[in-house]
Amino acid sequence: MDNESAGFGAKDRETEHMSSDNQQPFVTDSSNVATDTREARLAGQDDRFNSRLREAFGSSPFILTKFDKFMNWVRGSSMFMLQFGIACCSIEMMHTYAVKHDLDRFGAGVPRASPRQADVIIIPGTIVSKFAPRMKRVYDQMPEPKFVIGMGSCTISGGPFQEGYNVVKGAEEVIPVDIHVPGCPPRPEALIYGVAKLQERISNGESAPVVVKPYELEQFGDLERDEIVDQLSKEIDTEDLVMRYNWADSP
């Protein structure tokens, strides 16, 4: 059906063309084509060119804005996500990137495998003691400005595993988070909503990340000496980077 109509369209155009301009072949009629394009742009005959932006600006190709504002708009409109999977939520995250939900439609669906190319990290899952230092590392490797979306209850509080001996009680204990998307797991629609909210905030220049109580990566030698540090001093070099968990103070 599609093919047919396209065929007819082409034919129509051809006949029309032939009749208006005596027997000149279409391809060589270059000036005419250029005029068509310009007209289409300005007069709004062709929807493809007639973006809303163009409409707003009228025929002038110049806009005046603040550079900051422009940059924020750019940042919000083209976000590179880090390809980062942890637990169950990453399955829904994959669905968000893939067919049906297609996050790319919103200018935020290019997963990058390297943190050095990414602007946004979605934390999709439970963070446990062994993984938190690595996650901090990955986060540190991302270039500024960077944004964090916490996906799922696990990144809010530890979720269903909140009482586990090994579970970090939320991503905010390790890195700053801009947007929380609750759910276990959040539906893809919810994640898209979270991403859209983040984009909105970025383009308004109002992102304010929160850190509750950072577990820092520090050198073992810099830790305050107490019982456990004494005990481990044979096993860990003073220069080794460590993360110390004070579970008793966790929420």
Q: Summarize as ranges the residues that interact with another protein (CB under 8 A).
A: 83-88, 90-92, 94-95, 98-100, 113, 125-126, 128-135, 137-138, 160-161, 163-167, 184-185, 187, 217, 220, 223, 228-229, 231-232, 235-237, 240-248
Candidates 109, 125, 150, 194; binder of ligand SF4 (CB under 6 A) is 125
Q: How far is the CB of 65 from another protein (least distance, A)?
A: 36
Strand-by-strand arrangement of the 120-124 sheet: 110-112, 80-82, 120-124, 147-151, 179-181
Q: How far is the CB of 89 from ligand SF4 (least distance, A)?
A: 3
Torsion of CA 165, 150, 124, 142, to 10 degrees: -110
Contacts of 102 (CB under 8 A, 6+ apart): 109
C-beta closer to ligand SF4: residue 148 or 154:
154
Q: How far is the CB of 83 from ligand SF4 (least distance, A)?
A: 17
Three-class secondary structure of residue 169 per DSSP: coil
Give the other-Cβ count within 10 Å of 188's Cβ: 19
Contacts of 141 (CB under 8 A, 6+ apart): 115, 116
Whether 212 contacts 170, CB under 8 Å = yes
By CB neighbour count within 10 A (0-12 exposed, 13-18 middle, 19+ buried), where does 31 fall? exposed
What x-and-dash track marks residues 58-97 binding ligand SF4 by CB under 6 A?
A: -----------------------------xxx--------
Q: How far is the CB of 164 from ligand SF4 (least distance, A)?
A: 11
CA–CA distances in Å: residue 21 to residues 24, 29, 94, 198: 6, 10, 54, 54
Q: How far is the CB of 59 from another protein (least distance, A)?
A: 39
Q: Which of 199, 197, 185 is nearest to 155 (CA)?
A: 185
Which of ligand SF4, another protein, none sits in contact with 153, Cβ below 5 to 8 A by type?
Answer: ligand SF4
Q: Does 150 interact with ligand SF4 (rule: CB under 6 A)?
A: no
Segment 7 to 36, residues that bind ligand SF4, using CB under 6 A:
none
Binding site for ligand SF4 (CB under 6 A): 87-89, 125-126, 152-154, 159-160, 184-185
